[in-house]
Amino acid sequence: MSILIDKNIKVLVQGLTGKEGLFHTEQMINFGTTIVGGITPGKGGKKCLGIPIFNTIEEAMNSTGGNVSVIFVPYAFATDAILESIYANIQIIVCITEGIPVSDMIRVKHFLKNKKSHFIGPNCPGIISPEESKVGIMPNSVFKKKGNIGIISRSGTLTYEAADQIVKWGYGISTAIGIGGDSIIGMNIKEIMKLFLDDSETECIVMIGEIGGQLEIDAAEWIKKLKNKKPVVGFIAGKTAPKGRTMGHAGAIIEKKIETAQEKMKIMEKSGIHIVKSPADIGKSVYEILH
């Protein structure tokens, strides 16, 4: 079973008429996702790829019944697009846009409190469930096989690598979620881990983290306290990163010793997580645990 999304979702694309929005909307449609509308202020009433375009998210929801939003809006306008979707009570909001200021994300996190929306991102590849739906930019070719392995990742490319390794070892993916690598994001590792633990068809979880922050540590310490667990395979990218230098993502910067890859992996291992030292070993580790 998938988490957060399934084949019944109705997706609205904020920024569909832009270059990135247009390309990835086609890819989502090819994967089997139901796209019911696009939002581009000033272009309401037009059609793109045969999909109706609306001026506002509220108008699009009322006309189409859309309940999921994916955002391809340029960073200067992305915060308003996120807030608009939260205000409209969109169930799942996925923001692909990178470069959103930290101050804006603080506003978004505050606005999310006591709201119904689940927010993924920003600066993330999105969510994908084979044979169900895709909301985001993950490559269709890698995620062909539905199965019982869930993936949570701060890295886009390592998400794809992990899925490829898992499939090569004979397993498939239930859902893969790229949460984004910025310092302030929507749903965190622990929150998504809970959803996978409640999913009856997900038997094993792969957690791909990075240097910087404590999301992986918080999740590991929470897992350690659980009585009913599922096996978790963990990998932390950035073992050779120098202290104080941003590596790739805005959130991938070591400020304390505990935020290094080595320290995170020690804590995760003590919490019962199966640690792999290379992403190339993820599929093998999953096989050895479940075989």
Starting at the edge strand that comes first in sequence, how are the strands of the sheet with 11-14 ordered? 47-48, 51-54, 35-39, 11-14, 68-71, 92-95, 118-120
Q: What is the C-alpha separation between 261 and 131, in angstroms, rounded? A: 34
Beta bridge partners of 210: 237
Active site residues: 249
> Could you give the angle at the alpha carbon of 183 between the alpha carbons of 182 and 185, nearest 5°?
70
Asked if 148 and 172 touch (Cβ cutoff 8 Å), the reply is yes
Q: What is the largest CA-CA distance in the chain?
A: 57
CB 140 within 8 A of CB 128: no
* Spatial distance between the Cα atoms of 241 and 252, rounded to a whole number of angstroms: 9
Q: Which residues of 177-194 are buried (b: 16+ CB within 10 A; e: fewer)?
A: bbbbbbebbbbbbbebbe
